[in-house]
Structure 1
Amino acid sequence: MAQDFRNLIWDYLVFVGLILATISVAVYSKFCGVKEKTKADYVFALGKVSVFAMMLSIARGNLGVRSVIGYPSELYYRGATMWESLYGILLAYPIVCFVFVPIYFNLGVTSVYQYLDLRFKSRLVRCLASGTFIMRQFLLQGVTIFTPCVAIRTVIGLPYWVSICSIALISILFNILGGLKAAIWADVLQSVTMVVVSVAIIIYGCIEAGGVGNVIDINKANGRLEFFNFNTDPSIRVTTISAVVGQLFMSLSILGCQQSFVQRYCSMESQKQVTKTLMYNMPVITVLFSLSWVVGMVIYAVYEHCDPLSYGYIKNLDEILPFYVEDRFSFFPGLLGLFMATLFNGALSLNVSIVNSLATVTFEDFLKPLPAMKGLKDSYELWTIKTIGVVYGLIIMGMSFLVSMLDGVIEASMLVTSVTSGPLLGVFVLAMLVPIANSKGASFGVILGHLITFWIATGAFIIDKPPTPYLPLKTDACNETYFSRHIYGPENFKAIPVPAYQYNYSKIYQEDLSKSENPLYSLYSITYMYYTCIGCFVTVFFGSLVSYFTRSDTDKCSEDLIHPWIWKLAYFLNRKGSYDMKDGDKNHGDTSTGI
């Protein structure tokens, strides 16, 4: 008992210490680094940020905090097929590097959605895109903050309200003190701690499971490492095809059209440095992405014959990693606290970056055009953005408390992401790669893309699609000594509930007769992995169609607003006609929205 108490003290000390170390990054950035004087300093990270730091920041921002506990549980209970979404992520990097970045960097925009205003000469298109981003991030950030709070409460016992308020208030502090630069260095610290914890879990788990080879053999034998499923059925939750295609479009939307990433690109010294950073980021994100899946393999090898979920020790599959750390590492003083701090700082660093981006987008796209904001000094603009960031930080904190009172919101948030990402990507594809696209077509395409993807997503709930079955799980070796005394004592072993049901979904599938009754069943059954792809294609196709029939001389745009390859191709094919791109306005219309 005394040993458990000492370990608990160590866990709390490490947990608090790492959080204080993260806060010190923002304090140092404010008082000891290069002084922040203008809005550009705040938005684009004043002072030189190393390529290595930027790579880690981009990688962690792309993966998000759910990857730490979500991917291990995915492999444990459903196998490694989703692991193949890594191919889609890697394919997205060179596309973003050579298609999106050249346009953003040359224009020097503050808000990525400002580009849409310049391209289409339409504030409606710009506001539709930025409004989509704001809505999506509000919903997602509530879940992002709440997700680690579940693990922290389960393992350390810290109440929800303490964790939620801490993450939100520290995020506000970061935005006031350090802006984007503080967020980048918080990403670096969080990434390093995540790697340390993951490696410790892998090494210890491999030793307990009998070696690396045995871990691989156990996972293979139980169907956890089945790759290259090229089944073309779009109703299957995830196959190799849907993982690659779906993640490619999702990553293009995140890396190419999201304000938090474009701010990072524009904060670098040159386009060449951006290109180098993104290309070097591919092996970095491969390692960080795969670490979580390897952790899942190790945990499954250890718990092969006694699954904690089937035996009633945990209530949700996402609790498997926190449970494993608490169970197997209770002897190691401070490691549990380090793991909890990793989750905490992961949500913190991501929230800092998103609040910064939300505040910038709101000011540039909605407030700055107002008459009252005309002629506002740069220093006042800076503090206006910081004030907006404070308000948004408090709103996101409130969203997190709302999430704590609801069920199934995490899945709903993933659905929101997939529904909104497609039209957002589609309007940028129209702007960069479709010279005939105009404001009417872009507006129509975005709205229709949202309506169709939302319709499909809603239909998926209406048809009551059966849940994805788990892979076979075992409890044959469960007894009072399988888990550590840190989890339970022999005196209360019998009180642990053992579920009376088994994970058998065959009956659900056999009784599924709605296919013949509902002609739209096939459409509603499409996996959410394809939602972004569908939304993008709908936006591009109908946006191009409407633009073709509504084109006019007023739709002319400057050469540097279209991707140079497309501009040269259009000129080569002699598609100018009445739409003479060559005479576009080199001044881009109103550039007062720039920095």
Structure 2
Amino acid sequence: MATPSCFRPGVRVEPKFDGDYTFNTGHVKSFTILDYTIFLLSLLIPILIGFHQAWQGNTELVYYMLARRSMSYIPVGLSLLASFLSAITIIGVPAEIYEHDTLYVWVGLSFCIVSAASAHIYMPVFYKLKINSVYEYLELRFSRKVRAVGSCLFVIQMVVYMAIVLYAPSITFNAVTGLNLWAAIVSVGLVCTLYVTVGGVRTVIWTDSFQIFVMFGSALAMLFAAMATVGTTTMWESAQRTERVLFLDFGLNPTLRHSVWNLFFGGGFSYLALYVNQTQVYRCQTCRTLREVKIALWMSFPGHFLYLTLCLIIGLCMGAFYENCDPLQAKLVANANELTPLFAQDILSIVPGLPGIYLAGVFSATLSTMSSGLNSISIVILEDYIRVYVKSKLQQDKQRLILQIISVIFGFVCLEITFLVSKFGGILEVKILNALDTQDIH
């Protein structure tokens, strides 16, 4: 491949950084055997956690479904945080900062509203009712039909979203690094289905707790490598020069792309709706006391804000690194969603194994999202349909088996939908990749 043409509008310029970087060589680095080994290890550990929970010898239904309501606020809080930091967030936020500015930080601040409202208004109601499906509240408040409709819509939305979360990062890494698309999709999908089916909600919570450390570790590795390559002074001067530093915009013009109002309040209310759905409420029900539920929910605010801050700084480093050679204009990538993986390959490849840690971090986020989704779907179907409409009383071991069968079925349904999505291509594929823009629905 020829060396790319690096230019500002109308003026060809030389890249600012010398080295074995894409804008100097014209080709993107691929993952090594060590990188793939680290990635496979990140898939193996959740499986071991799942089988460890199964080998505990606790076959009773309340253990599989609710962990006997004995979980500490620490793993539950980490699990809630992990499920909100999807692969779409990890890839999309730095690209948002690169393409626009730092105003997006207000989304992280909006989690203060979300944490307060969910911990002190909504969750106390659900916790005191001791309901396993949040949609049971709809029957108590309205009718059984409303409950059934709400559950059905949740299942459809979650299955589609899991397919997007699985497909979007896979196709992005495939485009940038040549990562085998279907090997990544199938392996991640099967691993997630396996450990959720075997271990139940306790496995979901503990694997999320492991995965959040992998996600933060990969972000910190990328941040340190970026700062070492670019430098603090260069990053800040470039950010000011390119007008990426913007923290206050209280404009009321509805045509503005972003303002403090729509990011803080709009983002807050959007995330609040996600905080009171089945995936979050159900895990909170595993806590020992309501006080621990509130602590777990409040943990997500500093965690989410810290992670967005890391992504913000990485985005500013990207801006400085590619200031003289925009990968989009140089045709190094096809769209903005591929910027972050490209940057990761450029700056992390100097240390063997670091790209593998970043890859593990991205797909750990995918696993955390899928695992909470699969587990929640199985509970919703059991609670809102089987227990409601099947009149015969089912034994506990049969109910557990039903939960496991549902998890397996919907794990394969998710893979099938992902396969169907890939066949549409064109406009639909572009729309799915646009989910990587920071309008993250998770």
TM-score range, shorter chain: 0.7 to 0.9
How far the C-alpha of 1:412 sits from its partner, in A, is 5.0
Match of 1:326 in 2: 345
Q: Report if aligned partners of 1:97, 1:275 keep a CA contact under 8 Å in 2.
A: yes
> What SS is found at the alignment partner of 2:133?
coil
Match of 2:6 in 1: none
Cα distance, 1:376–1:292 mapped onto 2, change above 3 Å: same
Q: Report if aligned partners of 1:142, 1:399 keep a CA contact under 8 Å in 2.
A: yes
Match of 1:220 in 2: 240
Q: Report if aligned partners of 1:143, 1:410 keep a CA contact under 8 Å in 2.
A: no
Match of 1:78 in 2: 100
How far the C-alpha of 1:5 sits from its partner, in A, is 11
- Match for 1:332: what amino acid? V
Cα distance, 1:231–1:95 mapped onto 2, change above 3 Å: same
Aligned length: 412
Match of 1:158 in 2: 179
Is 1:392 the counterpart of 2:410 in the alignment? yes
How far the C-alpha of 1:225 sits from its partner, in A, is 1.7
1:189-200 matches, within 5 Å, as 189-200=210-221
Match of 1:92 in 2: 114
Q: TM-score, normalised by structure 2?
A: 0.87
Match of 1:12 in 2: 36
Is 1:261 the counterpart of 2:280 in the alignment? yes
Runs of 4+ that moved beyond 6 A: 4-7, 413-416
d(CA) in 1 for partners of 2:58 and 2:335? 45
Is 1:136 the counterpart of 2:154 in the alignment? no
d(CA) in 2 for partners of 1:260 and 1:369? 20
1:538-557 matches, within 5 Å, as none
Cα distance, 1:407–1:100 mapped onto 2, change above 3 Å: farther
Higher relative contact order, structure no. (Cα contacts within 8 Å, ≥ 6 residues apart): 2
d(CA) in 2 for partners of 1:415 and 1:41? 39
d(CA) in 2 for partners of 1:41 and 1:236? 50
- Match for 2:86: what amino acid? G
How far the C-alpha of 1:361 sits from its partner, in A, is 0.8
Q: Report if aligned partners of 1:62, 1:255 keep a CA contact under 8 Å in 2.
A: no
Cα distance, 1:151–1:332 mapped onto 2, change above 3 Å: farther
Q: Report if aligned partners of 2:77, 2:300 keep a CA contact under 8 Å in 1.
A: yes
Is 1:35 the counterpart of 2:57 in the alignment? yes
Is 1:126 the counterpart of 2:147 in the alignment? yes
**What CA deviation, in whole Å up to 9, does each residue of 1:112-165 have, x standing for no partner?**
000111122x11211222222112112211110112212442455332221111
Cα distance, 1:367–1:318 mapped onto 2, change above 3 Å: same
How far the C-alpha of 1:22 sits from its partner, in A, is 2.6
Q: Report if aligned partners of 1:168, 1:393 keep a CA contact under 8 Å in 2.
A: yes
Gap regions ≥5 residues in structure 1: 417-467, 469-527, 532-595
Q: Report if aligned partners of 1:114, 1:126 keep a CA contact under 8 Å in 2.
A: yes
Match of 1:173 in 2: 194
Q: Report if aligned partners of 1:43, 1:263 keep a CA contact under 8 Å in 2.
A: no
- Match for 1:252: what amino acid? L
Partner residue of 1:244 out of 264, 275, 279:
264
d(CA) in 2 for partners of 1:223 and 1:127? 50
- Match for 2:159: what amino acid? F
1:441-480 matches, within 5 Å, as none
How far the C-alpha of 1:81 sits from its partner, in A, is 2.2
Partner residue of 2:400 out of 378, 382, 397:
382
- Match for 1:318: what amino acid? N
Q: Report if aligned partners of 2:107, 2:264 keep a CA contact under 8 Å in 1.
A: yes
d(CA) in 1 for partners of 2:108 and 2:29? 41
d(CA) in 2 for partners of 1:96 and 1:213? 40
**What CA deviation, in whole Å up to 9, does each residue of 1:4-53 have, x standing for no partner?**
9997121122222222123222122222xx43323332222358444332
Q: TM-score, normalised by structure 1?
A: 0.65
Percentage of matched positions with identical amino acids: 25
Q: Report if aligned partners of 2:111, 2:268 keep a CA contact under 8 Å in 1.
A: yes
d(CA) in 2 for partners of 1:413 and 1:105? 35
1:394-409 matches, within 5 Å, as 394-405=412-423, 406-409=425-428
Match of 2:204 in 1: 183
- Match for 2:384: what amino acid? D
Q: Report if aligned partners of 2:229, 2:347 keep a CA contact under 8 Å in 1.
A: no
d(CA) in 1 for partners of 2:355 and 2:147? 45
d(CA) in 2 for partners of 1:413 and 1:255? 23
Higher Rg of the two aligned structures: 1
Range with bigger deviation, 197-206 or 315-324: 197-206
How far the C-alpha of 1:337 sits from its partner, in A, is 1.3
Gap regions ≥5 residues in structure 2: 1-19, 21-27
> What SS is found at the alignment partner of 2:284?
helix
How far the C-alpha of 1:354 sits from its partner, in A, is 0.3
Match of 1:303 in 2: 322
> What SS is found at the alignment partner of 2:388?
coil
How far the C-alpha of 1:408 sits from its partner, in A, is 4.9
How large is the Cα RMSD of the aligned pairs?
2.6
- Match for 1:226: what amino acid? L
d(CA) in 2 for partners of 1:139 and 1:412? 13
Match of 2:295 in 1: 276
Q: Report if aligned partners of 1:60, 1:187 keep a CA contact under 8 Å in 2.
A: yes
Q: Report if aligned partners of 2:186, 2:415 keep a CA contact under 8 Å in 1.
A: yes
d(CA) in 2 for partners of 1:147 and 1:6? 19
